[in-house]
Amino acid sequence: MVIQISIAVTAIAFAGLAVYLILTLRKGMTTLGETNKTLAEVRNAVHGLTQEASQLIRNANQVTRDVKGKMRTIDPLFESAHDVGEVIQTVTDSVKKAAGIPSVPERIASGPETPQLRVKVK
């Protein structure tokens, strides 16, 4: 009789364990299904971001090429402005020499400042 009761209790415990495992596995399957859906959404989002990033890089490269081309176009303008600046500097130096005004290095070498000649042009 004790053996029969032990077998009955064991059978009930095994059935309870089986039910618990089935419920746990069902919850696990539900979780795995949700995880698969989430991963699919993440893949789609990453794919979309990858396409947008590629397009952004293409646009940035195009803008860079455009800016470089425009810089090459205006380089002669800056060179001309530099040349004009040098000409103006040369003319200024010539006018200073003609007026007897010492240049900056000459003023530094001569020591204390000497009175300067000022020319007003109207």
pTM above 0.75, yes or no: no
The number of CA neighbours under 13 Å toward the Cβ of 84 is: 6
Dig out the tokens for 113 from the structure.
């400042």
Least confident residue range of 14-18, 50-54, 59-63, 115-119? 115-119
Query: Which DSSP string do the residues of the chain spell out, in sequence order?
Result: -HHHHHHHHHHHHHHHHHHHHHHHHHHHHHHHHHHHHHHHHHHHHHHHHHHHHHHHHHHHHHHHHHHHHHHHHHHHHHHHHHHHHHHHHHHHHHHHHHHTPPPHHHHHHH-SPPPPP-----
Q: What is the pLDDT of residues 45-93, one digit of tens each?
A: 999 899 999 999 999 999 999 999 999 999 998 899 999 999 999 988 8
The 10s digit of each residue's pLDDT in 26-48 is 999 999 999 999 999 999 999 98
